[in-house]
Amino acid sequence: MYVIVVGCGDVGAQLAILLSTEGHDVIVVDKNPDAFKRLGSTFNGIKITGYGFDEDVLREAGIEKCDAFAAVTDQDNSNMMAAEVASRIYKVPKVVARLYNAERESTFQQLGLDYVCATTMVAQSVLERLVERHGHHLIMRGDAELIEFIASSAVDNKKVIEVQIPNEFRICLVTRDGSTFIPWRESILKERDTILAIIKNESHALIKKYMRKA
């Protein structure tokens, strides 16, 4: 996968190293060339100095062939602009922005941007969204988030109680054939149901099998 990471602070550097380690082609963009020192001497990706919302810089980074794009600077406005350029102008399939100031969450939501709030797990959370986009992130509060996803065959004909994980994963709403209902513990789930659920950050790996890839 060809990935552009905008911002080489602690989060961006960690994300770039994680992606590179997994074998992806990684291009890191930062306005400060000294920031690339965080990548270490073994990083084998490409480093480009410039602003992540500058179209000339993005074209130099190969935005036209980009599969995934992460804007993870510590400036919300920069992340927002970079993510909008990537998603709206260049139609990059997977775009995730870092939300540094939670007070701006409503702005990111109004723009329809997929985002991750600033926590100690930001880099890992962004990585999961870039590499495997199973569901759509809606809202994050602390270490829990509200997500929406299409159910895979792993939940077909299972009861809600068989799928939920106490204190970690709870199904709130199910949409099937145009009708929406609030499930209870004995409700039967079907493949291709649209599920709205609350999940703790550390439990994503446990429920990936329930999510149909977009």
Helix (H, G, I), strand (E, B) or coil at 186: coil
Residues of the chain with pLDDT under 50: 119-121, 133
The DSSP bridge partners found for residue 71 are 6, 97
In a domain, 192, yes or no: yes
DSSP 189: P
Please write the tens of the pLDDT for every residue from 164-202: 999 999 999 999 988 999 999 999 999 999 999 998 877
Alpha helices in 28-146 (DSSP H): 55-60, 76-84, 105-110, 122-131
User: What is the pLDDT, as a whole number, of residue 101?
Assistant: 72
Identify whether residues 42 and 123 lie together within a single domain: yes
Question: At which residue do the structure tokens 């100690």 appear?
Answer: 120
User: What is the pLDDT, as a whole number, of residue 130?
Assistant: 64
C-alpha distances in angstroms, 39 versus 6, 44, 62, 122?
13, 9, 20, 17
In a domain, 181, yes or no: yes
The DSSP bridge partners found for residue 169 are 165, 199
**Model pTM above 0.85:** no
Identify whether residues 85 and 110 lie together within a single domain: yes
Q: Which domain holds residue 21?
A: 2-133
For residues 44 and 20, the answer to whether their CB atoms sit within 8 Å is: yes
In a domain, 140, yes or no: no
Q: What CATH number does the domain containing 20 carry?
A: 3.40.50.720
CA distance 34 to 11: 15
User: In the chain, how many domains are there?
Assistant: 2
